[in-house]
Chains A and B, each alone.
Chain A
Amino acid sequence: MSNNFLRRVDLIFDKDCDFKQVLQSAYQKSNDEIINELLESGLKGRGGAGFPTALKWKFTAEQPDPEKYVVCNADEGEPGTFKDREILFQVPMKVFGGMAICAKAIGAKEGYIYLRGEYRFLLKELESQLEVFHALLDEMKIPFRIKIIMGSGAYICGEESALFESMEGDRGEPRNKPPYPTVSGFRKKPTVINNVETLVYSFMIFRYGARKFKELGTADSRGSKVFSVSGDTPKPGIYELELGMTVEQFVEEFGDGDTKAVQVGGASGFCVPRKKFKDTIIGFEGVPTGGSMMLFNSSRSMFNVLHNYLEFFEEESCGQCTPCRVGCQQLKLGIEAVKKGEKHANYLEQLQKLAQTMKITAKCGLGQSVANSFFSIVENFKEEMIY
């Protein structure tokens, strides 16, 4: 890569990895040692929320209930996110491996992969890889089994408790929290639920050791991360990069020379306008992201972008709570009315209040995060909302 700050890494996609050996050495460790190694690495969940992975494992391990589960969340559906598909396609064994190490650490016998319905074409290959994996586990006398469960086209099922509901045969409606999955997850049993990328990184930490992983990134955002890059860019695709770069550095590498905004973290993430590129770090100290990076150049109407996002949320809201179900619709109708001149521009402030209310009162991350894109687009591109 031309840009010095942007360190391209190749931790997870490299094919030559002695899979069995990594698994073996992890299995020789005690459960505490596994969790401590992971804690030492500083790995945070790669789905966007950024909870320390080791703590999730630790809390689940500490539960007295002997029946526990490992669930791999392969239901990525955030617009602009497509990295998990590539990981599952290229290195599925490492995902299974991460699950097996987690199973050892927490004492689980069963694991599940919840694969989004849109990725059904991956199923056949994944199942045949799983056979190979299970054979290896048998050979190593590891009593652990993984099953794949298919989703049916619902973005909200990426939310962990909605995902459990769906696995149990119900509508994918988020549960009240607490209790958290570490206490009551799948079948109301203690469950570790990690996304695909988190599990791969967990596995790689046992290959390279926590120290190597920790050397990458910043104090708040350790390691590297897979980014999915789309929109107005000459280089759309999937890249594994070190954490800690600024949006400006990112744009230098991936922009088309006319980037006016970058949406970091998908439709539920934040829109960073050009004037803030320099000061915005991609990571937990700046804008956190599950990896989706969408670039927009000057030819794009940010009204259309926001409108498209709101259409998305309106349709994907599970409908369980009013602030989100009604709020999404009203935000969409509201910006349409301002655009058409049916409402005065001041009305945008009302809408911002509504978004703020959703942030506070919506039951789950979907309704709470609508405000992220809403505020960051409306505030930075006000004229485009009005004229």
Chain B
Amino acid sequence: MTDTKELVKTLADKYGRTRESLIPILQGVVQEERYISSEAMSEIARELDMSAAKVYGTATFYSFLDTQPRGKYVIRVCRTISCSMKGKNLIIQEIEDLLKIKVGETTSNRKFTLLETNCLGWCHKGPAMLINDEAYTELTPEKVREIISEYIKK
């Protein structure tokens, strides 16, 4: 059995095999493998006895259910109005320079992916970003440099 197959099975054992378990399973796959591959989708379809198209339809609807390969750390910078007013462009610029990638790209060592996202719920402390589940607020280019260099060391 491949790892993905095993992972899907473990997740299905944990969450169940009904339609309601689909999203928790997809979330679990993202947590482990950083994205949902087509292999994972067909595996889930098989385990849950539903069409692969259904799995695909649900997976592609949600922005956190990545269906493209992502890095170990996914950085999502808020681009909505309050953060935009407080200088999110500078933050993105800084990260792009640091990691030598553009928004939407992943570093060649698969460690970081940089994305833009909609309001994160920290508008009073913008600019804000998430790195995986962790929120960082009131960002400045200096602060971002410090945070990212910590992650580089990880």
Q: Is the CB of B125 within 8 A of A236?
A: yes
Given contacts A120-B133, A153-B64, contact A166 B23 (CB under 8 A): yes
Stretch at the interface among A34-42, A225-233, A329-337: A225-233
Binds B, one of A57-65, A77-85, A275-283: A77-85
Interface pair B122/A152, CB less than 8 Å apart: no
Q: By the criterion CB–CB under 8 Å, are A152 and B123 in contact?
A: no
One digit per residue, 1 when the CB lies within 8 angstroms of any chain A CB and 0 when it does not, for chain B 21-41 equals 111101100000000000000
Option from B24, B123, B130 in Cβ contact (under 8 Å) with A230: B123
Q: How far is the CB of B98 from chain A (nearest CB, A)?
A: 23
Can you name the residue of chain B whose Cβ is closest to the Cβ of A80? B123
Does A27 make an interface contact (CB < 8 A)? no
B side interface size, CB within 8 A: 36
* List of A residues within 8 angstroms of B65 by Cβ: 152-153
Given contacts A167-B20, A308-B81, contact A154 B124 (CB under 8 A): no
From 87 to 132 in chain B, residues with beta carbon under 8 angstroms from any chain A beta carbon are 117-126, 130
Question: Are A309 and B122 in touch, CB under 8 angstroms?
Answer: no
Whether A305 contacts B81 by the Cβ 8 Å rule is yes
For A84, the chain B residues whose CB sits under 8 A away are 121
Which residue of chain B has its CB nearest to the CB of A172? Answer: B61
Given A152-B62, A153-B62, are A81 and B125 neighbors across the interface (CB < 8 Å)?
no
Q: Which of B39-73 contact A (CB under 8 A)?
A: 57-58, 61-65
The one of A121, A151, A155, A170 in contact with B118, judged by C-beta atoms closer than 8 angstroms, is A155
Q: Which residues on the B side are within 8 Å of A305 (C-beta)? A: 81
Are A300 and B121 in contact, CB atoms less than 8 angstroms apart?
no
Q: Is the CB of A154 within 8 A of B82?
A: no
Residue on B with the closest CB to A152? B62
In the bound complex, residues from chain B placing their C-beta under 8 Å from that of A152 are 23, 26-27, 62-65
The docked-state distance in angstroms from the alpha carbon of A267 to that of B61 is: 21
What is the chain A residue whose CB lies nearest that of B134? A121
In the complex the two chains form, what is the Cα distance from A150 to B25 in whole Å? 11
- Binary flags per residue of A301-344, CB closer than 8 Å to B gives 1, else 0: 00011001101100110100000000000000000000000000
Q: Mark A221-252, 1 if CB is under 8 A from B, else 0.
A: 00000001111100011100000000000000
Tell yes or no: B153 within 8 A of A by CB. Answer: no
Question: B85, B121, B133 — which one has the most chain A CB atoms within 10 A of its CB?
Answer: B121
Q: In the complex, what residues of A have CB within 8 A of residue B4's CB? A: none
Q: At the interface, yes or no: B140 with Cβ under 8 Å from chain A?
A: no
In the assembly, what is the distance between CA of A117 and CA of B31, in Å? 13
* A252 → B minimal CB distance (Å): 19
Q: Is the CB of A168 within 8 A of B20?
A: yes
B118 and A82 form a contact (CB under 8 A): no
Chain B residues within 8 Å of A155, by CB? 118
**Interface residue? A118 (CB, 8 A):** yes
Q: Are A169 and B135 in contact (CB under 8 A)?
A: no
| A230-B81 Cα distance, complex, nearest whole Å | 10
Alpha-carbon gap, A195 to B124, bound state (A) = 21
Given A152-B64, A153-B64 in contact, is the A121-B133 Cβ separation under 8 Å? yes
Q: B80–A312 contact, CB under 8 A?
A: yes
A:103-117 near B, CB below 8 Å: 116-117
> Does B154 have its Cβ within 8 Å of any Cβ on chain A?
no
Are B85 and A232 in touch, CB under 8 angstroms? yes
User: Residue A294 at the B interface, CB < 8 A?
Assistant: yes
Set of chain A residues within 8 Å of B117, measured between Cβ atoms: 118, 153
A237 and B137 alpha carbons, distance in the complex (Å): 13
Q: Which of A76, A80, A116 contacts B82 (CB 8 A)?
A: A80
B134 contact set on A, CB distance < 8 A? 121
Chain A residues engaging chain B, CB cutoff 8 angstroms = 76-82, 84-85, 116-121, 150-155, 166-172, 228-232, 236-238, 267, 294, 300, 304-305, 308-309, 311-312, 315-316, 318
- 4 closest A-B pairs by CB: A236-B124, A152-B62, A153-B64, A153-B63
Extra A-B contacts (6), CB below 8 Å, given A121-B135, A150-B23, A154-B61 = A77-B118, A79-B80, A81-B121, A118-B117, A118-B121, A232-B85
